[in-house]
Each structure stands twice: as structure tokens, then as C-alpha cells.
Structure 1
Amino acid sequence: MKPLLRQISLTTNRLTRFYSYRMSSESPSYTKKIQSALSDASLKLNHTCLRIKDPQRSVDFYKSKFGMELLGHKKFPEMKFDLYFLSFPKSDLKHNKEGEVDVFCERGILELTHNYGSESDPEFKVNNGNEEPYRGFGHICFSVADIEKTCADLEAKDVAFKKKLTDGRQKNIAFALDPDGYWIELVAYNRPDQATTHSDVGYRFNHTMIRVKDAQKSLHFYQNVLGMKLLDVSKHENAKFTLYFLSYKPDEPRWSQEGVLELTHNWGTESDPEFKYHNGNEKPQGYGHVCISCEDPETLCKEIETQYGDQIAWGVKYNQGKMKNLAFIKDPDGYAIEVVPHGLCC
């Protein structure tokens, strides 16, 4: 009887996996096109949010090591958190109705979120997204004109590296580490495979990388629902992964842009019903979200609700949370995308 019971159990497990996969493969593929996203020239990939342990340490790191500027510091004492908005130097910054820099009307913004008390908690540690079993978010990426000089300057400033230019097989990229262990990829926007050379404009906050389970579902979501354009696909046969780069500026070279989203797909995850990436907002927390901004997010959010109904999950629907005039939508992997208007005052 024992072999028979074992065989029945194995058969049951196979059927469970089959039907789980079938249900997964039949779940929403996000093929409906949201016209208010596809036709909105004001859409921008505005910022990336990372939770931090110590704001003084992290803000100083990005300012002193990379030359970023603090554009805004927004305090929410009743909810016990603060937001710090940083950017590489920009000219002609717009201002909101309160006379502050409109941090929601730019590309290439880094938002650091500090929850009160974490800096004095010796046990507190953020999840950087690259350690098992909590992988999901991968890194932010800064592009520069001269990567060798940049890396040498950072080493002279005692910046720690996960990977130096001389490490590994890829000699044209490096990964620095911020105070919380987040990875910062460093690449050159002047590349040997490109005919055009770009003048040195300093650092650019080029892209944010997240890992995705099903590349096609994620591509459909970001292109059809949020209106992004596919810039480039980089396939790596030996390592069995593919990179997809999207943005709202399809006519500009990828590496010299700000506001690019990189989706990393490790082959085979889409066919594993048990596989799931960590979205950064479940414990242990770290990465928070990317944010898209536009002139009329309410219309965008209403059309998404009308077209997709319960097929798309929301963290907060537009204007329905404690903080008004914003929404949080969830992508196929459960990553959060904030949606805000230009000029938002908070």
C-alpha cells in the first residue's frame, strides 16, 4: 500500500502544479491599451524610492560622494516618516504653487524614505533586494562620461564596491554600495558600439532595475497599461537571462537618459508556479516603488480601473488614501508604482 499511496501523492502533486501553472498562464496578460497613457506626452518616470536606516548618513553619502543635490525634504510627523528628494544638478527647475521645487515634474529623482527611530535601532537593516530569499529589486544605475575616472574618484572617497571594473568578465560596469547596502551600477554613456559621443554632463540617474517572473506579462503591463516604450533588449544566452529597457523617451539613446526602467528576466521563472519575487514592501522592507508623474493622473487611473477592473491590484486608488492626489498601482509581480500629478504639494 505504501508504494501505491506514494504514487497517488506524486500524481496529486503533479496535477496541482499543472493546474496552478495553467491558472497562472491564464491570468491577466494586460493586452488592453490605456489610451490616456499611450497619448500622454507629459508622462515621466519620476523617482525611485528606497527606505533607509539613517537619513543623515544616506543623504550625506549621495551628496558628498556623487554630487547629488537635496531638492526637497518633506516631513510627515503624524505618520512618523520623512522623505528626502535628491537629484543630480539640473537647470530650469520648475516650482509648485507653494514655491518649492516641483520634485514630481522631473526625471532622475531619488527618494529616500526614513521611518522614525530606525537610525537608533541596532537590529534594523534594510533589504537590499539581492540576498536570498528576498531578491526582487536589483539596483539603481548612474551613467557617466568616463567610468574609469569616476570609479577611481569614488575609491579615493572610500566608497565601497560590490564589483570593481577589474572584477569579473564585464570590465565596463561596476557596482558601488550605499550605506544601506543598496547596489549602484555605474556605466558609461559614451560607449564603443555607438557612433555618437556625448559631452560630459556629469552623472545621470539612468535606470532602476527590478527582476520579473514573466517577461511578457510585465512588458504588456508597462507598455499597454502605463504607456512606456521598449528601448532595447539585451539577451544573455550563457547566463540565461534577458534585460528589457523601457522609458517614456523612445527617441533618445538609452544610456544617456534619465528615467529608464530595466526589467530583468531569469529564464524559466515564468513556468514555476511556486516562484515569487520579493516586492520590497513586505517584510523585510527595502525598495519602495518607482513613481510615474503626469499632468492628469486621475484620468489615467480611472481609465485603468474601467478597462481592467479587478484584474489589476491597487495599493491605494487615486485620491482615496490619507495622502491625497496620488495612487499606488501594482504590477504583475506586486511591485508598487506611485502615480502623481506634476505640481503635487505634500
Structure 2
Amino acid sequence: MKFLHTMIRVGDLDRSLHFFCDILGLKEIRRMENEKGRYTLVYLAAPADADHARETDAPLIELTYNWDEHEYGGGRNFGHLAFAVDDIYEVCSRLQAAGVTINRPPRDGHMAFVRTPDNISIELLQNGKSLSPAEPWASAPNIGVW
């Protein structure tokens, strides 16, 4: 398993970038804008991690700016921790066998979400190419929220 990123939602992207980059000193590694989904993702790294983050996409902080939402209540501004795993189906099976609810099953062979005992979301991403869809995951429903 490899740590990838921590995601937080921000209400004002420019203000947040000023804080994280200009004041705190983090470096912007990459940016993705999605007009259909109406959001922007900005990935940041600490200066000492910047070169490594550009090569490996980790470790990073992901700022998620949803264009139509500017205030978050109830802790919704903190999104999730993300880890790359070598076999998402094996990891989800192991977690489920240990009593962990798979909130967002890896139907696509690429992404799943679980929650910690304190309800913090954990995103699991298949390392490399997505696995072919397979049961029982391909038809598994979402459970709760992630």
C-alpha cells in the first residue's frame, strides 16, 4: 500500500492557494478542471516532496473546489485519505472479512471507499491499470455514504 493524498474541500480556491502556497510554502504539482462535474482539483506537495510527488503522484494534498458550493458544514470540508493498493478486490475482501463495510464497492475495478471507526473516509485506488469488473463487486450496491 502507498499513501497518495488527503483531500479537503475549499470554498475559495484563490484564498486557499494563497494560504497553502504563498504563506505555508507548498508547491502546486498539477491541476485538473472538470467542466461537466463543475469542480477543480489542485494537488500540492511540501517543497521537499515536490520532485518525488511529480514523479509518483504522492504524497499530496488535494484541494477540491466545487464551483457551486462555497460553505461546508458538519466536517464536509475534510474529504478523505487515499491509498494505492496492488489488488483492490483482495484488499476489499480482506477488509470486509474483518467487519469493515465497503461503502463504495470497487465495481469498476479501480476505486472503493470505506470509513474508519471515526467515520473518516478512506479511498482505495487500484495501483496501475484498473482490474476487470468482477463479482461480487461488479453488482454490489453502495452502502451509506463515503
Q: Distance in 2 between matches of 1:344 and 1:80?
A: 26
**2:8 pairs with one of 42, 47, 50:** 50
Tell me, which stretches of 5 or more residues in structure 1 are unaligned?
Answer: 1-42, 96-100, 119-123, 128-133, 135-279
Kept after mapping to 2: 8 A contact 1:75/1:83: yes
How far apart are residue 327 of structure 1 and its match? Answer: 0.9
| Corresponding residue of 2:142 | none
How far apart are residue 329 of structure 1 and its match? Answer: 0.7
Number of matched pairs: 129
Partner of 2:29: helix, strand, or coil?
Answer: strand
Structure number having the greater strand percentage: 2
**2:72 pairs with one of 99, 109, 126:** 126
Kept after mapping to 1: 8 A contact 2:45/2:53: no
Q: 1:55 to 1:330 in 2, by over 3 A?
A: same
Q: Distance in 2 between matches of 1:300 and 1:88?
A: 29
Tell me, which stretches of 5 or more residues in structure 2 are unaligned?
Answer: 131-146
Partner of 1:53: helix, strand, or coil?
Answer: coil
Partner of 1:126: helix, strand, or coil?
Answer: coil
Give the partner amino acid of 1:80. Answer: R
Q: Distance in 1 between matches of 2:68 and 2:26?
A: 25
1:65 aligns with 2:23: yes
**Alpha-carbon deviations, 1:175-222, whole Å to 9, x = none?**
xxxxxxxxxxxxxxxxxxxxxxxxxxxxxxxxxxxxxxxxxxxxxxxx
Kept after mapping to 2: 8 A contact 1:102/1:342: no
Partner of 1:301: helix, strand, or coil?
Answer: helix
| Corresponding residue of 2:32 | 74
**Alpha-carbon deviations, 1:31-64, whole Å to 9, x = none?**
xxxxxxxxxxxx2332211110111221232111
Q: Distance in 1 between matches of 2:112 and 2:40?
A: 19
Q: Distance in 2 between matches of 1:344 and 1:288?
A: 24
Give the partner amino acid of 2:94. Answer: E
Q: Distance in 2 between matches of 1:82 and 1:113?
A: 6
Partner of 1:56: helix, strand, or coil?
Answer: helix
Partner of 1:299: helix, strand, or coil?
Answer: helix
Q: Distance in 2 between matches of 1:58 and 1:297?
A: 33
Give the partner amino acid of 2:124. Answer: V
Compute the RMSD of aligned alpha carbons: 2.6
Q: Distance in 2 between matches of 1:63 and 1:330?
A: 30
Give the partner amino acid of 1:325. Answer: H
Partner of 1:57: helix, strand, or coil?
Answer: helix
Q: 1:319 to 1:83 in 2, by over 3 A?
A: farther
Give the partner amino acid of 2:112. Answer: A
**Alpha-carbon deviations, 1:122-168, whole Å to 9, x = none?**
xx4234xxxxxx4xxxxxxxxxxxxxxxxxxxxxxxxxxxxxxxxxx
**1:299 pairs with one of 90, 105, 111:** 90
**Alpha-carbon deviations, 1:92-150, whole Å to 9, x = none?**
5376xxxxx542xx23x1111111123xxxxx4234xxxxxx4xxxxxxxxxxxxxxxx
TM-score (norm 1): 0.33
Q: Distance in 1 between matches of 2:52 and 2:128?
A: 12
1:115 aligns with 2:66: yes
| Corresponding residue of 1:331 | 116
TM-score (norm 2): 0.71
Moved more, 45-54 or 287-296: 287-296
Partner of 2:64: helix, strand, or coil?
Answer: strand
Q: Which has the larger radius of gyration?
A: 1
Q: Distance in 2 between matches of 1:63 and 1:313?
A: 37
**Alpha-carbon deviations, 1:228-274, whole Å to 9, x = none?**
xxxxxxxxxxxxxxxxxxxxxxxxxxxxxxxxxxxxxxxxxxxxxxx
| Corresponding residue of 1:93 | 52
Percent identity, please: 22
Partner of 1:93: helix, strand, or coil?
Answer: helix
**1:317 pairs with one of 97, 105, 130:** 105
| Corresponding residue of 2:144 | none
Kept after mapping to 2: 8 A contact 1:44/1:294: yes
Q: 1:93 to 1:45 in 2, by over 3 A?
A: closer
